[in-house]
Structure 1
């Protein structure tokens, strides 16, 4: 299923210029982790997943879409890094940011790519966790992480 997301994003980026949209550049998990660790002030990580998904876990330092929207003016000169489960919803969010004149990139591997690289997740209370909401029954968390389907949230 992750390969399908990669193909989908590839086609969206390929078709974007033909429908008057910009291509969305990607950011790798490694680069994102490095920049977050350095507290890079030039980026803001926006987790575009639902509040149900974020309550299970999220990438440390990320903010929700609601928080982003309530503070959007603070982020005018920062690059918005959009992230979701595997990269589809975050591509759409990044595309909207670009249309609004902001800098934006897509963390296409999403939270599952973050887990696959062995990085830490935090629960809603900020404590470390190995639980990850996998969005649908076709996606699975990598080894060492627990998939949490919608009904268990």
Structure 2
């Protein structure tokens, strides 16, 4: 796994003390603990299920969901899920999304879990499921990422925070960016 430190302009090589499978298990356990403590019971969707929807041959199935990016502007500027909409846009126009299912995501699932909880408290009939494990888990299933402006496929992800690096796969296919301090 190559990690770009934008402050120093250098690439660091990550240690490989755990297998990617072990890292993913730890990531999902971390998400589960966060969920149990903060928003237990919110509906969820796994990376595998989301990948199936996004790659479904039927356009109607693919267009039945809207991906909601609950990350910071800095994180979104690095990469996003294909077709994702920033949280603020959705939050300010919830009525516009009443006929689709919302799938919020963030780095690990905390911010998107809070968003899911808020939406359901205000609109209990809204179809919404929090993405389990966020962009970190998405990296484990090799889900597609795109440039926010061009929507072209890229192999780059914002780590969300240095503490998240331990959850990312070591596959070497992704360029990992650390936040600037």
Q: Is the shorter-chain TM-score for this pair beyond 0.5, marking a shared fold? A: yes
Partner of 2:141: 117
Partner of 2:151: 126
Could you list the runs of 5+ residues in structure 2 that have no partner in the other structure? 1-25
- Secondary structure of 2:160 counterpart: coil
Distance 1:119 1:11, change over 3 A: same
- Please say which of residues 89-98 and 66-75 is displaced more in the overlay: 66-75
Partner of 1:58: 80
| Native 8 Å contact 2:39 2:113 kept in 1 | no
Counterparts of 1:126 and 1:82 in 2: how far apart (Å)?
Answer: 18
Q: Deviations over 1:8-60 (max 9, x none)?
A: 1133344xxxxxxxx20110111111212334333211010011101100111
1:103 counterpart = 2:127: yes
Alignment of 1:29-40 (within 5 A): 29-38=47-56, 39=59, 40=61
Counterparts of 2:110 and 2:91 in 1: how far apart (Å)?
Answer: 20
Counterparts of 1:92 and 1:13 in 2: how far apart (Å)?
Answer: 7
Query: Whose Rg is larger?
Result: 2
| Native 8 Å contact 2:116 2:128 kept in 1 | yes
1:68 counterpart = 2:112: no
1:78 counterpart = 2:96: no
TM-score, structure 1 as length reference: 0.84
Q: Which of 119, 138, 147 pairs up with 2:163?
A: 138
Counterparts of 1:13 and 1:55 in 2: how far apart (Å)?
Answer: 27
CA RMSD of aligned residues (A): 1.9
TM-score, structure 2 as length reference: 0.72
Could you list the runs of 5+ residues in structure 1 that have no partner in the other structure? 15-22
